[in-house]
Structure 1
Amino acid sequence: MANEPQTRVMQDGSDNSKKTILNLFPKQSDCSYVSCYCEENIYKLAEVVNKIYCNEINKCFVVFISNPSRTVPLWRQRAGKDEDRLVIWDYHVIFLYHPEPEKCLVYDLDSELPFPTYVHKYVTETFRTDHILKPDYFRYFRVIPAVEFIKEFASDRRHMKRPDGSWIKPPPNYPAITSSSNTHNLEEYIQMDIGKGPGQVLNLSQFVQRFYKSVT
């Protein structure tokens, strides 16, 4: 990552104005990424912001996307095979930078959309609407302040091991993430019971209202 803050003029598709917003990650290719370890990829993004742009970390959020049936359809994913790049994940994790009340950027290392993408475009193309889905496929969003996520999240990667101990997918080459009180609490973030676990659980319309007030 760059050692000095950089800015980039980004075009917000909701109007014809231009807004200079801090570019947290100048190159997607410089970001830590390991396929099928989205929670750790996003953890590493949060670490970078906390280290290099500490004044911005309180404007950042980590968002886990899942549901009780662990079947969440997301479009425009690089792993998708059809024209719309649809993938049914058991869960997914994204990073949000919310510097102003009605300006929010989404960083999704698994998306084919630009990195980053304004939240209104990301929602429209990635989540679309629940109206076309059966309830088992509705998306729910656990929103956690990034600074809290860095402090509390832990994963020993057990969910990526087969019963015989072999890896389903090769793990990152850095040590497993631990916190001061946990070696593994990933399940607390994936489950979407309101009132349980870290952060706040929202449905799609609540998520849109919180991070893009002008969307209806």
Structure 2
Amino acid sequence: MVVCRRILTADSGGAGIILISREGFKIQQALKFEFPATDNVAEYEALIAGLKLAADLEAEIIDIFGDSQLVYKQISGEFKAHSERMAQYLARTQELLKKFPSWKLSNVDREENQWAYSLAKLASSSLPINPDSVYVDVLTTPAIDELSVNQIQDSPDWRRPFLDYIIDKKLPEGKTEAHSLMFKARYYCVIGS
């Protein structure tokens, strides 16, 4: 289970995440934002951090609870992400959700989310936090600004012509296709070939 909550103040923002196992074991995380964040950005940041943490713990089945109706309706497909930023957050979240064979999303009332709210308030305060009692992570950049690295397998893939061109300078036979590939290839690089 992933429970997310966020809080923003004039000078800082934070979010709280609680992962609860079937046996009731809890992992609590407070996120402190060192970048401007709206309520929806903070909710996505909390959700993304919770999904990463659940994936690191090799969870396979997750139930996600949060109180941002807009974010959860975007993920469920009921609402569209109209701004570029929200579309990037939605895409990043959907990418992370693919790591879980089974997941369920639930919108809860704020009253049902008070513990995560307390963690968010802790993260956004200027008080010193005891790292022994709760894990606090300081986010200096939004999750959507992370570098995405894709690994190419040997099976047919749309990226294969780019890889062949970048590594071996191999071009398609058609002049138009070759020119198009050379033009588009400048946006890609190979790491660790």
Larger radius of gyration: 2
Asked if TM exceeds 0.5, the reply is: no
TM-score norm. by structure 2 comes to 0.30
Query: Under a length normalisation based on structure 1, what TM-score does the superposition of the two structures give?
Result: 0.28
Report 1 or 2 for greater relative contact order, CA contacts < 8 Å, sequence distance ≥ 6. 2
